[in-house]
Amino acid sequence: MSTSAQIGVTGLAVMGRNLARNFARNGYTVAVHNRTATRTRELVAEFGHEGDFVAAETAKEFVAALERPRRLVIMVKAGDPTDAVIQEFAPLLEPGDMIIDGGNAHFADTRRRERELREQGIHFVGTGISGGEEGALHGPSIMPGGSKESYEPLGPMLEKISAKAQDGAPCVTHVGPDGAGHFVKMVHNGIEYADMQLIGEAYQLLRDVAGYSPARIADIFRTWNTGRLDSYLIEITAEVLSHVDAATGKPFVDVVVDQAEQKGTGRWTVQIALDLGVPVSGIAEAVFARSLSGHAALREASRGLAGPKPAALDEAEAAVFADRVEQALYASKIVSYTQGFHEIAAGSAEYGWDIDLGAVSAIWRGGCIIRAAFLDRIRAAYDARPDLPSLLSDETFAREIAAAQDDWREVLVAATRQGVAAPGFAAALAYYDALRAERLPAALTQGQRDFFGAHTYRRVDRDGSFHTLWGGDRSEASA
C-alpha cells in the first residue's frame, strides 16, 4: 500500500465517519480504518465520490498508508477503548508521528497518555471537537492540546476543516500542552449544560407563569434570537418547541419523557472545579437538575407535597413577565460563562498551560454547541485585559448585569411564589450577590470550625493565624 494519505481516521461511527469525510471534502487524501472492516468498505462505497479515501483493513495497512509525519486520528469511546487503540497502533509508529484523540476523553487520561507516548517520541494530541455529527462534517470547533511542535504540521489541516466565524477566522487554536485541549472541551460542555438548563427554566416559567403555549414560546425564542441572546441553542429551542408530534398532534415537548440524560462531561466539570476550589454553582445546578429529573420514583412519591400551584398571568402581565425572563436568562448566561472561564483560568494556572482565554472564546464563535453572538464581546474583553479577573469585571458586562438585576430578582420572586423551580437562575443570582457582598457568613463558618476542630482563623486587624480556647475565658492564642 502506498503512503499517500495526509491523515488517517480510525473509528468510523458517525463522528469519525463525518470527520473523515470533512477532511476528504477539503482536498486531503484520508486513510480510513475500523475494527469492523465492513464499516470501512461501506464508507468508501457510499461517500467515495466526495474525495480521496484509502481503505485499510488492518492496523499495519492503515499506518503504512500515512505520509510522515503520520497523523492518526482516533475516534472511539473514551476510557479503555481509547487505550486499547493506542496500544494497537503506537508500536507501529515512529518518532515524530502523532496520535490525535478526538473523543471526549478525561483530561487526566490525556495527560497520562501524552506523557507515556512522549517517552516513545510520539506526539499525543488530545483534541476537543464540538459540533456533533453535523459539525464534524461541515466544520466543528476544534480544541487541540499537545506540543507546539505537533501543531505545526497538524494545525493547518485542522484550520481548513474547522468552522469559520463570521469574520472568517477558523474556529481552532492550539490550546496548550498535554491535556489542555480536553480540559477546555470539558468546560465547554459544562457551560453547555448550564446554558441548556437556563433555557429550560425560561421555557418552564413562560409556560407555567405566563401561561403561553409551546408554539407561542417558540415565537418568543425566535425574537430573542435576533438580539443579544442570538445563539445556536436559542435557535434550536425555537425549532423544538414549535414541532408537533405527528402521531398525537400534541406539541412534541409534551410527548417526551421529562428525564434528561448526560454523558459525563458536565459532571467532570463540577468534580474538577471542586478539586480546583472554583465555584461553578450554575453548572453544578444544571448537572443536579438532570440527575433529579431521572429519579422518577422519588418525584412520583413527592408530587403530593404542599406548595403553590402556578396560576397563569393575564395577557398584559404575561408580556411584561416575558421581558423580565429574557433579562434573567441573559444575566444568568453571563454568570455561567464567567464561572466556566474562571475554571479554565484556574486549570491553566494549576497545570502550567498558559491558556489564552480570548482565543478560547474566539474558537467557540462557530461550529460548537454553545456558539453565540456575545462570544465576540467575551473575546474583546479578554483581548483588552488578558488578566481580567472575571467577566463581571468587564465594564460592558457589569453594566448589562446592573440593568438586568431588578427583573432577574422579580423573576425569581415570581418563580418562588408560583412554585416553579428555577435552580439555575437562583444559583446564578446567588453567585452574583455573593461576589458583590462586602462580608460573607464564611467568618461565622471559620468560628464554628475553630470551635469544634481547632482549625484556626485569620483576623481582619492583624496578620497570622489564631485559635480561641473555647472555655470560660475565651482566651485567644496565635497558632
**Cα gap 40→44, rounded to integer Å:** 7
Catalytic residue among 46, 149, 160, 192: 192
Binding residues for NADP(+), as ranges, are 11-16, 34-36, 76-78, 104
Helix (H) or strand (E) holding 209: none
**Cα gap 140→117, rounded to integer Å:** 26
Output the nine-digit C-alpha cell for 9.
481516521
Helix (H) or strand (E) holding 193: helix 180-208
300 flagged as catalytic: no
How many Cβ atoms sit within 10 Å of the Cβ of residue 207?
19
Output the nine-digit C-alpha cell for 59.
492496523
333 flagged as catalytic: no
Output the nine-digit C-alpha cell for 100.
490525535
273 contacts 256 by C-beta, under 8 angstroms: no
Binding residues, as ranges, are 11-16, 34-36, 76-78, 104, 130-132, 188-189, 193, 263, 290, 449, 455
Instruction: Tell me which residue of 44, 47, 100 sits closest to 71, measured CA to CA.
Output: 100
**Cα gap 58→393, rounded to integer Å:** 55
**Cα gap 13→25, rounded to integer Å:** 18
Using alpha carbons only, give the angle 60, 158, 150 rounded to the nearest 5 degrees: 65
Q: Which residues pair with 126 in a beta bridge?
A: 101
- Strand segments, DSSP code E, in 274-427 are none
Catalytic residue among 185, 326, 333, 400: 185
Residues 6+ apart with CB under 8 A from 438: none
The alpha carbon of residue 49 and the mean position of all alpha carbons in its chain are separated, in whole angstroms, by 35
Binding residues for substrate, as ranges, are 104, 130-132, 188-189, 193, 263, 290, 449, 455
β-strands 476-478, 7-10 pairing: unpaired
113 contacts 126 by C-beta, under 8 angstroms: yes
How many residues comprise the chain?
479
Residues 6+ apart with CB under 8 A from 395: none
162 contacts 139 by C-beta, under 8 angstroms: yes
- At residue 123, φ and ψ (nearest 5 deg) are -80, 130
Alpha helix stretches (DSSP H) within 385-441: 395-418, 423-436
DSSP 67: P
Longest alpha-carbon distance in the chain:
87
**Cα gap 263→318, rounded to integer Å:** 36
Kindly list the catalytic residues.
Answer: 185, 192
